[in-house]
Amino acid sequence: MTEPEFARTYDGGAYDDAWAAVKQYRRVIAYHRDNPDAGIAELMRISGAPRNSVVSWIDDGATPLVTQGLYKAHDYKLLEVDYDEITPLNILVAAALSAGRSTPETTSPRLQLDRSRTRWSSTASS
């Protein structure tokens, strides 16, 4: 998953285009770092961001939620993951979801991974 793909998972809530918000935030922060005397109007002009966003980013130190999410995704190395790296996690999630309803009192799920096989199996014993 790329940064724009990840950011776009935030579309439709607080953001019409979350990736655009990330780019605006980065432009404002970078420009302000290089031009600390730049005013809010100038930062709005170079970024295309609304006034209330620029004020909150500069005066309040706020960071858009989508940008915070990207930071976390980078911290956990979730971006730019190739298929081979994510396959074990996908298998685990698929096994957990396909096992149906299970509770610790009635079921002991077991997942067996054998990389020499092309199929993966999961069983739940009750």
CB 70 within 8 A of CB 6: yes
- Pull the structure tokens for residue 75: 């911290």
- pTM to 2 decimal places: 0.67
CA gap 86, 76 in Å, rounded:
13
- Pull the structure tokens for residue 8: 């776009």
Higher pLDDT residue, 48 or 107?
48
CA gap 124, 102 in Å, rounded:
8
Q: Which residue has the tokens 């579309």?
A: 11
Q: Which of 27-31, 46-50, 74-78, 100-104 has the lowest mean pLDDT?
A: 100-104
CA gap 13, 17 in Å, rounded:
9
